[in-house]
Amino acid sequence: MNKTIIVSNRLPVDLKYIEDKLIAKSSTGGLATGMKSVHSEGNGIWVGWSGMAEEDMNENQKLEVDRALANEKCVQVPLTNADIDNYYYGFSNTALWPLFHYFQAYTEFELDHWKSYVEVNQKFADVVLQQVNDGDTVWVHDYQLLLLPQMLREKNPTLTIGFFLHIPYPSYELFRTCPWRDELLHGMLGADLVGFHTYGYARHFISSVSRVKGIEVNFNEISYDNRIIKVDSFPMGIDYDRYHNAALEHKKRPEESKSELMKSIDFHNKSNDGSKLILSIDRMDYTKGIPNRVKSFEYFLNKYPEYKGKVRLVMLAVPSRENVAQYQLLKRETDELVGRINGDLSTISWTPIWYFYRSLPFDELIDLYVASDVAMVTPVRDGMNLVAKEYIATRTNENGVLILSEMAGAAKEMHEALIVNPNNFDQIADSIKEALEMPAEEQKTRLEALQKRISRYDVERWAGEFLKSLKAAKDVVPVQVAQKLTPLKVSEIADHYKLATKKLFLLDYDGTLAGFKNNPSDAIPTQELYDLLDKINEDETTEIAIISGRDRKTLEGWFGHKNYTLVTDHGAWLRKVGAEWGMLDQMKSSWKENIRPVIESFTDSTPGSLIEEKEYSLAWHYRKVDADMAALRTMELKHVLKSLLINNALSVLDGNKVLEVKNSNVNKGRAATRLTNETEYDFIFAIGDDWTDEFMFEELPESAYTVKVGNVKTVASYFINYSTEVLDLLRDITKVQRQ
Ligand code: ADQ
């Protein structure tokens, strides 16, 4: 039976010596909980770092660690202190973490860190590959392992690989600054499914892929390396029942078993009638907006002084990445800020901020959640933020208000919270006031809606949905995936060509026989092309047909003097060898008068675009237009055109950086059929790069060789990567020597 392997930087276990025996205790973090059923099913395992550096263990201890981990179905990736410094604290946390959270000024790109990142990803790959069997599923987690999916795919293509990013995915403008952006995307695209917390992050990823790699993306499917990769959003949930039930238990707890923290809170509540607690919990991280939160609380107290002495901010920060300089600075800044505000505002009976810099056991965390009237979750950037969801889960008394930053992924699904911009102190101050004064009925209504959603989309459901989509992504057999044209296949085609007695080449022009130029009129045929085609044409049993979207005048100018069949205007006109031009269908062109001004207005307002007028069509070229602007403008133009074309027998062709309006009943497929119906060929070879060539591929008989230029979705049987390979390919088939 196939198994599932989970891979994350850290294993979900804490190693502890109990009476001289090393014990691995499974930790209860969100991810570990979500993965529980996946991990415990069948022979599933978890691969990651144990938390202990290799140098710090002797051989015996290593074995002991392996054994303790094996009991928890975990396998360690041995890492040295240097690995941890360079891969984890280095590239992961001083390059990727700040970059992906829009902290560009904190981002350091160090070559040594990068090299270590590649090496450590390879170490992870080596361990995983030792554990897998063909057909297994591997689920890779987070930004420390962006290269892993591809490393696994290269060694074992039978694996089903999922990747989930727990942090935001930044806009292309940020991502492009990374010197290793190509490698990172290549790494992630080794997966069958790439998941993010929100649709926004998925959109940013798709935009990076299409702009950095220049490859085709079709809604949420990416065609890459002859595979389809799915991209989707899966908002992570929490173990709702665990938090909810713990909160219910909390109420039953007798006085003597209460924690010191809880006793202090009770004391505060008793001694200040009507006073309220505001909660803040995070890892000490600059993305969490801790200094801003403290400052906005001070701002609130000064804006609404009637709350002085009545409201307290309980702020809990868990020590995190203390080796990284920015984290040390943040700690110092927070300490000083809290010290100053408490110094400025405290009275004998009231301290505005209670500040704890430590990790708390689960029970005490619950104490805090339960005791707080308001939770302030105001990160400046956060992939999801689980604290917001945990707070909601512990509200068992139908009261409590959540103030949530719009910069947290959680804000996308927790609309009933008070949503704030974490940099807008005025808005936050007003939201704190609104939260403190919110009528009980309104609190209840908002909470109920939030609880309903969060309890339904809990962490188990999240893991289930991801794995379901992963399975579906792998099961999707694309309608037909074109195969790369190998030298072996080419020689097979050449053999067929040699034996055949009636042969036809259907050759698209732009992007196939000629590369693209910024201005279409510059893409004139080269002498090399003329020589080759003439040479092929010398064979009397071979017919060459140039089948293009270009107009009659242009193609006649270029090839009119040759003995080739010419098909122009996407199949509107046909000139057989030695015959006159004829129209495949009767067409009108009067519509151009109405459509031209519309396209012209787009040309005027879109720098870099130009309009090409053909006899029976109008083309709007946008090859030189900035990619973002082009995406927007083509969408608008398509929309406008479609509304105008309803009553005309016209359609809009979405070509390679060109939108073209033409008569609907014309396409290259009809023209190709006409040619192949008239003569019985025993060898047909068609090649093209454009969307319009798909009609031709589709209509040709199955025995035809159809080749797409570019590795994108196609109905052709084969593909080659670049138009620069086309002439050599024709030479290889026809055995015509280079002149
Ligand atoms: P984190 O940045 O760690 O996670 P978050 O999602 O808020 O952020 O999770 C923090 C967890 O730590 C919560 O479960 C919380 O209860 C716990 N915690 C916080 N303070 C604590 C304390 N003092 N003592 C004990 N426990 C404490 C990353 C991303 C997030 C994303 C998660 C999951 O940065 O955006 O939501 O992964 O994908």
Domain endpoint, select from 394, 421, 456:
456
The pairing of beta strand 374-377 with beta strand 137-141 = unpaired
Q: Are 166 and 384 in contact (CB under 8 A)?
A: yes
E strand segments, 299-400? 311-318, 353-357, 374-377
Residue 171 lies in a domain: yes
Q: How confident is the model at residue 434 (pLDDT cuts 50, 70, 90)?
A: very high
What is the whole-number distance in angstroms between the Cα of residue 390 and the centre of ligand 1?
A: 10
Please compute, for residue 316, the number of CA atoms within 13 A of its CA located in the half-sphere on the CB side: 20
In the chain, the number of structural domains is: 4
Distances (CA, A) of 308 to 225, 315, 474: 63, 17, 59
Q: What pLDDT does 646 receive?
A: 55
Q: Which residue has the tokens 């694996």?
A: 159
3-class DSSP state for residue 403? strand
The token pair that represents 606 in the structure block: 């879109």
CATH number, position 599 = 3.30.70.1020
pLDDT in tens, 313-332: 999 999 999 989 999 999 99
State the closest ligand 1 atom to the C-alpha of 281, by its place in the atom list counted from 1.
20
Residue 467 lies in a domain: no
Residue 282 lies in a domain: yes
Domain endpoint, select from 618, 634, 662:
662
- By most ligand atoms within 8 Å of CB, the mutation choice from 242, 327, 380, 386 for ligand 1 is 386
CA distance 218 to 228: 10
Closest CA to 321 of 283, 349, 371: 283
The token pair that represents 217 in the structure block: 């993306």
Lowest mean pLDDT among 98-107, 229-238, 299-308, 635-644: 635-644
Over residues 409-427, mean pLDDT: 96
Residue 571 has pLDDT above 70, yes or no: yes
Lowest mean pLDDT among 344-358, 379-393, 701-715: 701-715
Q: What pLDDT does 193 receive?
A: 97
Q: What is the mean pLDDT of the chain?
A: 90
State the closest ligand 1 atom to the C-alpha of 377, by its place in the atom list counted from 1.
7
Q: How many CB atoms lie within 10 A of CB 339?
A: 12
Lowest mean pLDDT among 312-326, 327-341, 619-633, 698-712: 619-633
Residues 188 and 113 in one domain: yes
Closest CA to 234 of 548, 463, 520: 463
Residue 617 lies in a domain: yes
The pairing of beta strand 617-621 with beta strand 658-663 = antiparallel
Residues 253 and 330 in one domain: yes
CA-closest residue to ligand 1 atom 16: 387
Residue 83 has pLDDT above 70, yes or no: yes
- By most ligand atoms within 8 Å of CB, the mutation choice from 92, 282, 330, 413 for ligand 1 is 282
Residue 504 has pLDDT above 70, yes or no: yes
- By most ligand atoms within 8 Å of CB, the mutation choice from 101, 281, 466 for ligand 1 is 281
What is the whole-number distance in angstroms between the Cα of residue 387 and the centre of ligand 1?
A: 6
Q: How confident is the model at residue 493 (pLDDT cuts 50, 70, 90)?
A: very high
pLDDT in tens, 114-130: 999 999 999 999 999 99
Closest CA to 8 of 415, 416, 463, 345: 463
Q: What pLDDT does 614 receive?
A: 82
Residues 184 and 299 in one domain: no
What is the whole-number distance in angstroms between the Cα of residue 283 and the centre of ligand 1?
A: 7
Residue 359 has pLDDT above 70, yes or no: yes
- By most ligand atoms within 8 Å of CB, the mutation choice from 97, 283, 334, 378 for ligand 1 is 283
CA-closest residue to ligand 1 atom 9: 386
Domain endpoint, select from 606, 635, 662:
662
What is the whole-number distance in angstroms between the Cα of residue 698 and the centre of ligand 1?
A: 52
Residues 557 and 423 in one domain: no
Instruction: Tell me the sheet residues that pair with 718.
Output: 483, 707
Residues 127 and 213 in one domain: yes
CA distance 498 to 733: 9
Higher pLDDT, 480 or 333: 333
The token pair that represents 80 in the structure block: 């040295």
CA distance 429 to 424: 9
CATH number, position 190 = 3.40.50.2000
State the closest ligand 1 atom to the C-alpha of 166, by its place in the atom list counted from 1.
38
Range of the domain at 109: 4-233
Q: Are 513 and 526 in contact (CB under 8 A)?
A: no
Residue 595 has pLDDT above 60, yes or no: yes
3-class DSSP state for residue 672? helix
Q: How confident is the model at residue 499 (pLDDT cuts 50, 70, 90)?
A: very high
pLDDT in tens, 18-73: 777 888 887 766 677 778 777 877 788 999 999 999 998 888 888 999 999 999 99
Over residues 142-158, mean pLDDT: 97
Residues 280 and 187 in one domain: no
Please compute, for residue 61, the number of CA atoms within 13 A of its CA located in the half-sphere on the CB side: 13
CA distance 422 to 411: 12
State the closest ligand 1 atom to the C-alpha of 288, by its place in the atom list counted from 1.
2
3-class DSSP state for residue 282? strand
Residue 465 lies in a domain: no
pLDDT in tens, 363-385: 999 999 999 999 999 999 999 99
Distances (CA, A) of 87 to 8, 79, 183, 201: 14, 10, 16, 24
Residue 706 has pLDDT above 60, yes or no: yes
Q: Are 716 and 696 in contact (CB under 8 A)?
A: no
Residue 160 has pLDDT above 60, yes or no: yes
Q: At what angle do helices 199-208 and 181-188 cross, to 10 degrees?
A: 120
CA-closest residue to ligand 1 atom 20: 282
3-class DSSP state for residue 462? helix
Residues 402 and 356 in one domain: yes
Q: How confident is the model at residue 476 (pLDDT cuts 50, 70, 90)?
A: low
Distances (CA, A) of 332 to 329, 441, 735: 5, 41, 74
- Would you please indicate which residues are annotated as catalytic (active-site) residues? 508
Q: What pLDDT does 368 receive?
A: 92
Higher pLDDT, 265 or 186: 186
Sheet holding 617-621, edge to edge: 610-613, 617-621, 658-663, 650-654
E strand segments, 115-175? 137-141, 160-164
Task: Please list every protein residue whose CB sits less than 6 Å from any atom of ligand 1.
Answer: 30, 166-167, 236, 281-283, 316, 318, 359-360, 365, 382-387, 390
3-class DSSP state for residue 253? coil
Lowest mean pLDDT among 146-155, 163-172, 589-598: 589-598
Residues 647 and 680 in one domain: no
Q: How confident is the model at residue 477 (pLDDT cuts 50, 70, 90)?
A: low
Q: How confident is the model at residue 647 (pLDDT cuts 50, 70, 90)?
A: low
CA-closest residue to ligand 1 atom 22: 359
Q: What pLDDT does 257 receive?
A: 77
Over residues 164-180, mean pLDDT: 97
Q: What pLDDT does 28 receive?
A: 63
CA-closest residue to ligand 1 atom 33: 166
Residues 355 and 225 in one domain: no
Residues 22 and 69 in one domain: yes
Residues 304 and 246 in one domain: yes
Over residues 708-721, mean pLDDT: 88
**Phi and psi (nearest 5°) for 53?**
-75, 150
Query: Could you tell me how far CA 266 lies from the centroid of its own chain?
Result: 47
478-504 burial: b if 16+ Cβ within 10 Å, else e: eeeebeebeeeebeebeebbeeeeebb
Residue-by-residue DSSP string for 543-571:
EEEEE-SS-HHHHHHHHTTSS-EEEETTT
Residue 209 lies in a domain: yes
% of the chain beyond a pLDDT of 90: 66
% of the chain beyond a pLDDT of 70: 97
Q: Who's near 659: CB < 8 A, 6+ residues apart?
A: 619, 620, 622, 634, 637, 638, 641, 652, 653
The token pair that represents 665 in the structure block: 């009943």
State the closest ligand 1 atom to the C-alpha of 30, by its place in the atom list counted from 1.
14
Residues 380 and 528 in one domain: no
Closest CA to 121 of 160, 158, 163, 157: 163
Q: What pLDDT does 39 receive?
A: 82
Angle, CA 649 vertex, CA 644 and CA 655 arms, to 5°: 75
Q: How confident is the model at residue 475 (pLDDT cuts 50, 70, 90)?
A: confident
Closest CA to 683 of 547, 499, 492: 499
First-to-last C-alpha distance (Å) of the chain: 59
Q: What pLDDT does 588 receive?
A: 72
CA-closest residue to ligand 1 atom 15: 387
What is the whole-number distance in angstroms between the Cα of residue 385 and the centre of ligand 1?
A: 6
What is the whole-number distance in angstroms between the Cα of residue 123 and the centre of ligand 1?
A: 27
CA-closest residue to ligand 1 atom 37: 166
Q: What pLDDT does 431 receive?
A: 98
Q: Who's near 274: CB < 8 A, 6+ residues apart?
A: 310
What is the whole-number distance in angstroms between the Cα of residue 384 and the centre of ligand 1?
A: 9
Residue 309 lies in a domain: yes
Residue 464 lies in a domain: no
Residue 258 has pLDDT above 80, yes or no: no
What is the whole-number distance in angstroms between the Cα of residue 317 and the centre of ligand 1?
A: 11
